[in-house]
Chain A
Amino acid sequence: GQSLEQPSEVTAVEGAIVQINCTYQTSGFYGLSWYQQHDGGAPTFLSYNALDGLEETGRFSSFLSRSDSYGYLLLQELQMKDSASYFCAVQNDYKLSFGAGTTVTVRA
């Protein structure tokens, strides 16, 4: 089976930088994705890493190290609207399995 571990909560102030780590155990790994979910809403896709290295999309960046079974999501220049839950997800074969999520709270 798969297992993913990520911190349950992170709190930071506006303008700060937050890093959410994700470690995983799985077989047949294809890639690591990140999703954002606001309260009461559906998860939405943020990024995907299949190869080692950093992918940057605006204020958000995602990193993957396949050899360490580790990745992270970096949120820069935090804004109040970034308060949400963030999930890492591993894609292998046909499956897409999620971690328990990290709740990010941004304070003024």
Chain B
Amino acid sequence: DAGITQSPRHKVTETGTPVTLRCHQTENHRYMYWYRQDPGHGLRLIHYSYGVKDTDKGEVSDGYSVSRSKTEDFLLTLESATSSQTSVYFCAIRTDENTEAFFGQGTRLTVV
């Protein structure tokens, strides 16, 4: 299995609080992605990174920010959590040469 770990795996938080999800890889892959998965919507891209300190927005980036200060870590922050951000969040990694993306096990976030 690709060395990719998401933390926490489960989290319940209150509306209006900031939340940070962490994606950690041991593969030295260049590309890292954050997706959210909701019934009927598949995997929607939130933000992605193509190198240290190089990030860009995906299709559903409002309310989210990211940081990548080192190759192995990609952080997703919900600046002020809302109930609409209740979802399962997946991180994925990919190399330049390899077209295959490897996914973490997901983080189930509930905003109450």
A contact residues vs B (CB 8 Å cutoff): 1-2, 8, 31, 33, 35, 41-45, 48, 50, 87, 89, 91, 94-101
B103 touches A42 (CB 8 A): yes
Could you list some 21 contacts between A and B, CB below 8 A? A1-B59, A8-B40, A31-B99, A33-B99, A35-B101, A41-B105, A42-B103, A42-B105, A43-B90, A43-B92, A44-B103, A48-B99, A48-B100, A87-B43, A89-B101, A94-B48, A96-B45, A96-B94, A98-B35, A98-B42, A99-B42
A101 to B50, CA, bound (A): 25
B90 touches A45 (CB 8 A): no
Closest Cβ of chain B to A101, distance in Å, is 4
Q: Mark B44-88, 1 if CB is under 8 A from A, else 0.
A: 110010100000101100000000000000000000000000000
